[in-house]
Every structure is written in C-alpha cells, then in structure tokens.
Amino acid sequence: MTKEEKQRKIVIPGETIVSGDDYLPGDFTKKEHEDIVANRYGLAEVSGRVVRLIPISGVFEPRRGNTVIGRVEDTTFNGWIIDIGGPYSSFLPLAECPRFINKNDISEFAGIGDVMSVKIQSVKKGSIDLTLKSRGLGKLEGGRIIKVNPHKVPRVIGKEGSMINLIKNQTKTEITVGQNGYIWIRGDLDGESKAVDAIGLVVEEAISNGLTEKVEDFLKV
C-alpha cells in the first residue's frame, strides 16, 4: 500500500473516489461501472481494496447498545416516551427499569422534561426501545446539558476516555457523554462553564493534531 492510499479526503455525494476494477465499495459508497462513487458527504478512506466513507455530519443514527441521553417527552401507563434526537422517538418500558416504581404514578420517578441516561435495547423499523438495566444508567439530576455533533463524540471521549477524563479531573465535574451528542455536566458553576468551553474547543478543532495538549493548556489557564 502506498502512502497516498492511506490518506483520507473529504468527498461530496456523486464524486468519484477512485476508479478501476481493483476496488470494492464499502460503507456509503457505490460502484458505477469502473468508478467507486460517494453516496454522502464525509471522509473517504481507502484501506487495501475496500473504499469506505466516514460520515462527519448529520443527525444521530441510533444503533443497538448505544448509551444516549434523552429527555422525557411523555409518560404512558407502562413507560416513558423519550426524545433522544434521532429520526424516531423512543420508548422506555416500565419493565426495563431496575427499581420498584409505583405503577399508578410513574412520573414520580421521571416526569416530562426530566433527563435520563439510557441504553438502546433494540432498533426496529420506526421504533426504538430503551433500557435502564445496565451500569451507570438512570435519571440525571441537576447540572446542564449541551449538544454537540454526534459524529464528534469519539473525539470528545478520546482514546479510552482520555479526553473526557482530563476535562473531568481538571474542572472537578461529573460528565456523561451520550452517543447521540448530548452531554450532561454537573459541578460547581466555574467548573461547568470551563468544561462546556473545553468541549467546545474539542469539537471545533476535532481534526487537528495534538488536541490533548491544547485542551490541557486551555484548562490550566
């Protein structure tokens, strides 16, 4: 593999990424005669023979197993309808809540407008089911919520949580990052604002090198 092939480049829909019979179409690409054509806007990556496209913008696409942060939209007799910012609204059944809840008044646990950290149990056509049965899930009280581009979430978390742990430790805040781009922050007032600004910096400069150092310098000031 030559050096050139490893490079990533931004492509627009309908653009020919590479041409020739040596290549195979991967995610969000299509083969048209000889050419591998991009099907959406993003970063094209040629690895070996396979050409794939990494999305860099757009709405959150829910997948099974994602931990997300959502706001209660409505309560029903057997669960909660939760807005997680995807193409469909999602449902958290009462049975998926690990602690005892009085069935006659489930808004005692969480009412409209409350924020929860939940996991996606299944994604079916037109509906998403959630669960609370996992570690670290549940209602989030106090603090604030910010929204970032969901495709930048891996950058906010960093390698094995390095970036988010750095921000947490330096600002003395609790932070939960949802895969859907919602981030919950709780701490003292200064810490919270500092963490919001630091996350803003990470999102803004997501592609630059030495980002951890930059954030470190920013947090020291």
Scanning 49-57, 114-122, 160-168, 195-203 for contacts with other proteins by CB under 8 A, the matching segment is 49-57
Residue 120 structure tokens: 């996606």
Coarse DSSP helix, strand, coil percentages of the chain, rounded to the nearest 5 percent? 25, 35, 40
Is 10 one of the binding residues for other proteins (CB under 8 A)?
yes
Scanning 82-90, 115-123, 129-137, 172-180 for contacts with other proteins by CB under 8 A, the matching segment is 82-90
Is 37 one of the binding residues for other proteins (CB under 8 A)?
yes
Give a three-class secondary structure readout of the chain: CCHHHHCEEEECCCCEEEECCCCEECCCEEEECCEEEECCCEEEEEECCEEEEEECCCCCCCCCCCEEEEEEEEEECCEEEEECCCCCCEEEEHHHCCCCCCCCCHHHCCCCCCEEEEEEEEEECCEEEEECCCCCCEEECCCEEEECCHHHHHHHHCHHHHHHHHHHHHHCCEEEECCCCEEEEECCHHHHHHHHHHHHHHHHCCCCCCHHHHHHHHHHC
Binding residue (CB under 8 A) for other proteins from 6, 7, 14, 162: 14
Whose Cβ is closer to other proteins: residue 43's or residue 101's?
43
Is 125 one of the binding residues for other proteins (CB under 8 A)?
yes
Binding residue (CB under 8 A) for other proteins from 126, 136, 160, 208: 126
Is 136 one of the binding residues for other proteins (CB under 8 A)?
no
State the nearest-atom distance from the C-beta of 108 to other proteins, in Å.
27
Residue 147 structure tokens: 């929204």
State the nearest-atom distance from the C-beta of 78 to other proteins, in Å.
20
State the nearest-atom distance from the C-beta of 201 to other proteins, in Å.
15
Binding residue (CB under 8 A) for other proteins from 7, 57, 78, 169: 57
Scanning 55-63, 95-103, 130-138, 189-197 for contacts with other proteins by CB under 8 A, the matching segment is 55-63
Is 41 one of the binding residues for other proteins (CB under 8 A)?
yes
Binding site residues, other proteins, CB under 8 A: 10, 12-15, 28, 32, 37, 39-42, 55-59, 87-89, 125-126, 151
